Structure 1
């Protein structure tokens, strides 16, 4: 397998861009100290790279990964976002979401096959990228989650749709930030394949695909190759907890779901007890927002609609005091003792406050009215 670095597209110091045989291009995140966290310059550069490949007839397929086995991408650089908000550089902070969602949207609509190697941590903004690709490969050590409940943000990057698409399991995941192992991620369709071979071994087999042997097209060629490499693994805590998840997450009454999950504090499963603790200690306004966005996402929504709404919701949420406090407690001071804005009342209206996130998206505003938030 011949690989050549493309200096003309290595436009960011933390991204490696390479050309391989057979029309393949390789994009690698290279910010290991922060587990390849995303910021505005990084996502803007990725957007330029993927747009270039989209219009380059010489590009047949793209492999997207990172330079380390510990993580594909653990999310956005929320510490930097927090500091921007504190500095009153709100527009700069909002530009991050604008560019990040543009990249996610591009990948959801991409005409060429993209394979993401999701080894290690795939969380938050990293999971948003992962879910936008048609081929989502995990390794036995993969750990996937939308853990925004811990920092006072919310499951964005398309989570408003891809969590709703998974029904009660998606709602539970969003409310608790629970970590999926490879088996769980595959079971609910977050991952399309599990591979226990090395990254380079899988890439080498994909690069060697003979495109002309597949009249059904390039996507079929890759799918068949990955299917041959797929290996089932033992069931994980998600599959063992499905009955409980469906009993506590009914999606009909926010307070009922909230209290039922917290009531799992004495469950026999460590995973369920951790989920209960995450919600109990997590951000109440995030829980309310997550539940409502799941309701909104249950109706058919295009990806354009999803990111149009999320861009406005994110602009609201980063200025909410819970975001500043949540990132402080988790990632800045690391005391793990956030002082959330509490109301004493577990209701959507009380937790979202006197200035809830009203947007230009009428279907969302109608949802706020339906549940008595406005």
Structure 2
């Protein structure tokens, strides 16, 4: 039997949450080992934000996150704020800029964020062990024992930071859930989130619009987001659709307002001003040409405005402001930016991220049933939950 390396804490997962937790715990004096099957750390960080890493959002607050317990994220997010991570980024001289809706990106490369986190880990003398699968995990006599390749590790503290199954090409799996269940923790059904939606049936015709984007308001239930929607060869994507996908359930409808800025009775007003023009022509001045043409053919009245009643024009307006469609599905975990659901917050302390029934066991980041909006929110949860767990560890 392999003699295990002894540490104060073992962190499973070298992603954003795991590296943050390791760095903070290490700098507090803990002997920390980070284990991962990947051959390099921070792979999701590297591809995020088009390679520039949307590393936080200045508006991060618990109401921008989805969880079975909407209050769970408040404690960690309230104690480690966007300003705290920005201060760390600034200390490393990493230039950044704010895009729309509070989203912060590196001016240069996401590699700068990974390098920063690794340097923070080095300051805490963190042992990084990559490139081997995590094998059996046991718990006995107050110690967690973990097999990692041909090595073994032991520690009184174990942190699950292996994320969810989104983007499996990067090595993502449901390992966190299997491990959590082994220790008696419940798991909220994982689903793809921030994911493109697919169209079927009558809506397949919209596939001819692949590549066309326009500003819309997307609605699902009480949730609504105003950003760009992008037609694809499979259905719909773009920020507005990715956002609303997190609130959509299979079989439900989604509503799209294609013209969120127009005033009521705008078509009727156009009829008074230009009676010989057509609905298609009016729409073509407000939307991309191919979209205007398709919507006019699919949803709206045809012919000159002068020949259409105000009632018919009113119906056309309503069709454009509340186009309803039922997605046939999503593009799944392969294209999902994050995972909805995960390790149930019922079994975790919101302050420490520690399992209530298993002292020394923690769960952080995407592995937990806390999912943020698009735009840096999920990274902020990774930093905040990792920080909270690291602050709570006893060693």
Where relative contact order (Cα < 8 A, 6+ residues apart) is larger, the structure is 2
Normalised by the length of structure 2, the TM-score is: 0.20
Greater Cα radius of gyration, structure 1 or 2: 2
